[in-house]
Structure 1
Amino acid sequence: MTENAASQDIVMLIREAYGGMSMGQQKVLEFFLSRRLEAVYLSAARIAELVDVSHSTVVRTAQALGFDGFPEFQTALQEQVSGRMNSTGVYQLGSRRLISELLEQEDNSMKSILERVMLTDAKNIENMVAQIPVADFEQAVNMLLAAENVYVIGLRSSAPMAMNFAMGLRQVRGKCQLLQPGVGDLVDQIASLTSKDLLFSLCFGRYTKVTLHAMDYARKVGAQIISVTDTPVSPAARRADLVFTVRYGVWFYGASAALFSLLNALVAAILVQQNDASQARLETVDSVIEEFEIFDTDDPPQST
């Protein structure tokens, strides 16, 4: 993919290229413009069928726009479309894609839905393994270990992942705070951030201002920043010292399984790197849990 295709607005790119395309390619471009949401999830073969051109014409059209192929074009289109949609739109788009793929299989049974969604999640995780440089992963682990305090922020759809990650970090390395607007004042929570600390940001389109402002403040005080975001040129990526890209698709919860897997791997690596200290901390946590009697330890009633 050319740098121009990667960064330029897809609609503008199509309009500029339209006049130089063949008649068949123009039909494909018209579909991309007029039925943009469908172009996000339909296969190249299905689009070819709808506009009455060959499959190769759809592929060549994407290549003529500067992309390596149709999958790369569709990924770029997904990122732009989903980044500008509200939550309702994302859910609607996810349902359309799921329904479309099930109809192509001619199977909308509960078994097929279960298998389709879970296998897609598994495939997303498998694909992401090859996309993460081991050196970057190792650097992230070292940064998380070296920081005096770690602050984690992730809002809206990223909030559950941020909460889970912060909880895991607290158990294996301690001194980790989850930044939560509405729980006290975020300003008070982040005020103690210093150049010896690290901010870990989860930020995906439509990029919340609060998260970006927190990253700006972290840069101002000299703290290091790791960000997990959806593109290497996102507003969050441009503010970070180290970036992991987890491409959100158009399923109901995007690529959350792949994101969770990455965060889980970071916590696991920290546990291994400082095994003795982490084990001692986990034992302390367990003793406090017992002290507070957090869990029900009574035996279940026996059936008669």
Structure 2
Amino acid sequence: MTEGTARDVETWLRARVPERGMRAKGAAVLEVLVTQPRRASYGSAAETAELAGVNVATVSRTAQLLGFSGWSELQQELRARYLASLSAPDVAAAHHTEGDPGSASLRRDLDSLAVLTRRLDTQLIRTVAEAIARARRTLIVAHGSYVAVGSALGHNARLAGYDAAVVRDDADLANSISRVEPGDVLVAISFWRLYQSTVTAAEEAHHRGARVFVLTDAASPALAGAAEQVVLIPAEGVGFFPSLVPGLAVAQAIAAHLSTVDPERTRRAVEAAEAQWSRFGLLHRTPRRG
């Protein structure tokens, strides 16, 4: 972890300390998180308690004092921030597993989906979907492999009858942001490493009066400051790569709710799209109308 990133982690953690401060034992736990983020990211609550010289209950109470439901939620975001500080080879080393990597990847995705199911506030899904439904236009910003998540959300939003565009090129992004107005929505999608252009787009869209939502694994202060809501999604993968599976699951959940906001609008949009699929001869077999 670089010195700058270490400062970022410390700033993030200390900003969550209540104004009334912390007692000595809680402060000891905080010091472990700040000074030994790797060990805290991968260790158990008991191991963190041993490093801090406290009991496990104190670790859990400290996590809650910092605004998390418990140790596992705090550890998830701490690990996401720690991994974001590493180079790709360092991430691969941190994720080294014995046995078949394909099986390990599948197990990791299953575990992440289970965590997502337990922790995600479904009201956030409704809020994002209903914002897209009310928007004049929705701009979805995604780069690198995260484009897969953005493309799924944009494709399904358009199919449901709403104006949504996915932007992955920085020049196109700058041009698109120049046309953002109040009544628009921007959805920023970023996992592991955060692109500066994503931050700039979120800040500028917010400044222009658009509603901004973020899908990410760690709430960057820059993104969180511009966003109305941040949807935290586990994204740790195996090897070099962050997992896209939980992010795609959230994109699908948003699209599923979006299709129920105005069912008649979505029905008309799907029928119109299917007519064009037939006109363009896109399908190997044309489905029969019921």
**Same fold by TM (over 0.5)?**
yes
**TM class by shorter-chain length?**
0.7 to 0.9
Q: Which of these residues, 52, 60, 63, is aligned with residue 59 of structure 2?
A: 63
- Stretches of structure 1 lacking an aligned partner (at least 5 in a row): 10-16, 49-53, 103-107, 299-304
CA–CA separation in structure 2 for the residues paired with 1:57 and 1:255: 35
CA–CA separation in structure 1 for the residues paired with 2:51 and 2:203: 46
**2:7 maps to what in 1?**
none
Q: Is residue 125–residue 253 contact of structure 2 (8 Å, CA) maintained in 1?
A: no
**1:213 maps to what in 2?**
200
Residue 72 (structure 1) shift: 5.8
User: Quick one: which amino acid aligns to residue 178 of structure 1?
Assistant: V
- Provide the aligned C-alpha RMSD in A: 3.8
Partner-residue secondary structure (3-state), 1:194: coil
Residue 204 (structure 1) shift: 3.0
Q: Is residue 151–residue 179 contact of structure 1 (8 Å, CA) maintained in 2?
A: yes
Could you give the per-residue CA deviations for residues 24-77 of structure 1, whole angstroms, max 9, x where no partner exists?
A: x9xxx7xx85xx7576446678x79xxxxx899797599399447864664354
CA–CA separation in structure 2 for the residues paired with 1:295 and 1:196: 36
Q: What TM-score do the two structures reach when normalised by structure 2?
A: 0.73
CA–CA separation in structure 2 for the residues paired with 1:129 and 1:64: 21
Q: What TM-score do the two structures reach when normalised by structure 1?
A: 0.70
CA–CA separation in structure 2 for the residues paired with 1:195 and 1:73: 35
**2:216 maps to what in 1?**
229
- Stretches of structure 2 lacking an aligned partner (at least 5 in a row): 1-9, 16-23, 65-69
Q: Is residue 150–residue 177 contact of structure 1 (8 Å, CA) maintained in 2?
A: yes
Could you give the per-residue CA deviations for residues 186-245 of structure 1, whole angstroms, max 9, x where no partner exists?
A: 322332211011101112343211111111111121011111122345421221012211
Change (3 A) 1:159 1:257: same
Partner-residue secondary structure (3-state), 2:257: helix
Which deviates more from structure 2 when the two are superposed, residues 285-294 or residues 82-91? Answer: 82-91
CA–CA separation in structure 1 for the residues paired with 2:169 and 2:102: 35
Partner-residue secondary structure (3-state), 1:185: helix
Residue 281 (structure 1) shift: 1.0
**1:283 maps to what in 2?**
271
Which deviates more from structure 2 when the two are superposed, residues 267-276 or residues 85-94? Answer: 85-94
Could you give the per-residue CA deviations for residues 116-165 of structure 1, whole angstroms, max 9, x where no partner exists?
A: 43233223222222322233322222111100111100112322211221
Could you give the per-residue CA deviations for residues 86-133 of structure 1, whole angstroms, max 9, x where no partner exists?
A: 334333433x1xx1xx4xxxxx2x4xx555432332232222223222
Change (3 A) 1:85 1:44: same
Q: Is residue 149–residue 176 contact of structure 1 (8 Å, CA) maintained in 2?
A: yes
Identity percentage over the alignment? 14
Q: Which of these residues, 7, 20, 32, is aligned with residue 13 of structure 2?
A: 7
Q: Is residue 109–residue 237 contact of structure 2 (8 Å, CA) maintained in 1?
A: no
**1:302 maps to what in 2?**
none
Which deviates more from structure 2 when the two are superposed, residues 188-197 or residues 82-91? Answer: 82-91
CA–CA separation in structure 2 for the residues paired with 1:64 and 1:186: 42
How many pairs are equivalent? 260
Change (3 A) 1:194 1:122: same
Matched, 1:199 2:186: yes
User: Quick one: which amino acid aligns to residue 91 of structure 1?
Assistant: A
